[in-house]
Amino acid sequence: MALEIKDVDAYYGSKKVLEGVDFTAPTGELLGIIGPNGSGKTTLLRTIARILKPRTGTILLDGTAVVQMKDKEFSQRFAAVPQDTSIQFEFSALDVVLMGRNPHLGRLELESERDIEIARRSMELTNCWPLAERPVTELSGGERQLVIIARALTQEPKVLLLDEPTSHLDINFQIAIMELLKRLTTQEGLIVVAVIHDLNLAAQYCDRLVLLRSGKIIAMGAPHTVLTAANIKTAFGANVLVKRHAVTNQCYVSPVPLSISGQTEAAREGHSGKTIHLICGGGSGTALMHLLTEKGYTVTAGVLNLLDSDHEVAQLLQIPVTTEAPFSPITETAFQAQLDQIGHTDTVVLCTIPVGFGNLKNVEAAEVALSRLGKRVIIVESDPIAKRDFTGGEATKRVNALKRNGAIVVSSPEAVLEVLATV
């Protein structure tokens, strides 16, 4: 069985709110719908739920168009959990869950023992059976959400639609609900389509994601292919860092504060006319990148391996970088590209990097800058080079020669600014 959304356009009056939406969700999939406010996420759920009729396109379940299903048949196959789950009447939690059996009952028919057993099983699945006799108005937001999901499950649907099921809930209930949705797909075989506000929860639990912007799908696929910094920038207009979590191996999104994102604009407005090249790596250049861009200097950096933390910060601050493949030694091509960068700079800063044979060419770049190109070279030595030398003493010998030949030695990134301010 599969839920198929085929080239759907939907309108509110004359305003188009969905355009060309097309995807398939198979049995046992947890599909997350993400996107900024006003992108059409809730409208998409409303269209699948037949609340809003598509202007063009069609929605199929197991090959049958949902618009052709009778109301009772549709309610037996689809269940929805809305964003607002407030209940004003003092029904018990069990009474609320039993309302999910209505599509399976005849007119004026009362619930049977089987119906009660189905309701009980749904409440056990959602871990809310202990709440059965409590008035729903006395439950917390998270408890009430579990009851509403249990009511939806009591319909015995094939497709479960949820609109931001974890919004406004404490983290314990967020995790409980997402774990539940995952179990419903893997153990019960449901198709679950959920609008999810929290991108990290979506990345952790969803099999696939659909990213909407202005009513159109701009990315769809596995979380790590959808949740990229470029896609999030396009959809939300926000700068983020996206990494793989060391424990879960899932991607996670970290927002970048506007104060950091705005540093590149400050650099352009307060440009000092001086260009500084950082020879860095492994996080040794991060502090200087921030300090120098804040002060209006133009900054370049290299040679940095892709995935290096300094490389990620340089990308964020729009700093030009000479790069090398991850975990690879510096090639002659990258070395020459770095020398070209250095040729266009006023000062070269050799940061407190560990030096092995793979990146010894970075020290050589400082030597060329000082002796051949006549650049001012500053060495940041918060730790002695001997402690960072993994070349059997070669790096120590060459850095000490730099000092003897006129390189300026400082002990901190802040001290670099003091030296630059003196000239």
Query: Beta partners for 34?
Result: 211
Quote the pLDDT of residue 257.
Answer: 62
Give residue-wise pLDDT tens across range 252-309. Answer: 888 776 555 544 554 444 445 689 999 999 899 999 998 998 888 899 999 999 888 8
Domains of the chain, CATH where assigned: 2-237 (3.40.50.300), 263-421 (3.40.50.720)
Token pair recorded at residue 76: 């037996």
Give residue-wise pLDDT tens across range 142-188. Answer: 888 899 999 999 999 999 999 999 887 888 888 988 999 999 999 99
The DSSP output letter for 391 is S
Quote the pLDDT of residue 416.
Answer: 93
Quote the pLDDT of residue 56.
Answer: 95
Token pair recorded at residue 337: 């590209």
User: How many other CB atoms sit within 10 Å of the CB of residue 91?
Assistant: 16
Percent of the chain as helix, strand, coil, to the nearest 5: 40, 25, 35
The average pLDDT across 365-378 equals 95
Split at pLDDT 50, 70, 90, the class of 240 is confident
Residue 4: half-sphere exposure toward Cβ, Cα within 13 Å? 12
For residue 94, is pLDDT > 50?
A: yes
CA distances from residue 233 to 16, 210, 239 in whole angstroms, order as listed = 23, 15, 6
The DSSP output letter for 178 is H
Give residue-wise pLDDT tens across range 377-416. Answer: 999 998 999 999 999 999 999 999 999 999 999 999 999 9
The average pLDDT across 65-80 equals 93
Where does 72-230 show beta strands of DSSP type E? Answer: 78-81, 159-163, 191-195, 208-213, 216-221
Q: Are strands 2-12 and 15-26 parallel, antiparallel or unpaired?
A: antiparallel
Give the Cα separation of 179 and 166 in Å (integer): 11
User: How many other CB atoms sit within 10 Å of the CB of residue 48?
Assistant: 23
Split at pLDDT 50, 70, 90, the class of 97 is very high
Angle at Cα 28 formed by Cα 244 and Cα 201, nearest 5°? 35
| Overall pTM surpassing 0.75 (yes/no) | no
For residue 85, is pLDDT > 80?
A: no
Give the Cα separation of 244 and 236 in Å (integer): 21
Quote the pLDDT of residue 268.
Answer: 47
Quote the pLDDT of residue 259.
Answer: 53
Q: How much of the chain, in percent, has pLDDT values that exceed 90?
A: 70
Q: How much of the chain, in percent, has pLDDT values that exceed 70?
A: 95
| Whether residue 303 has a cis bond before it, omega within 30° of 0 | yes
Quote the pLDDT of residue 272.
Answer: 56
Quote the pLDDT of residue 1.
Answer: 86
3-class DSSP state of 301: strand
Quote the pLDDT of residue 293.
Answer: 87
For residue 324, is pLDDT > 70?
A: yes
The average pLDDT across 221-246 equals 88
100 Cβ contact partners less than 8 Å away, ≥ 6 residues apart: 79, 119, 122, 150, 151, 152, 153, 154, 155
Q: Are strands 64-65 and 56-61 parallel, antiparallel or unpaired?
A: antiparallel
Token pair recorded at residue 55: 């202007």
| Mean pLDDT value across the chain | 90
For residue 368, is pLDDT > 90?
A: yes
Give the Cα separation of 423 and 415 in Å (integer): 14
Give residue-wise pLDDT tens across range 202-218. Answer: 999 999 999 999 999 99
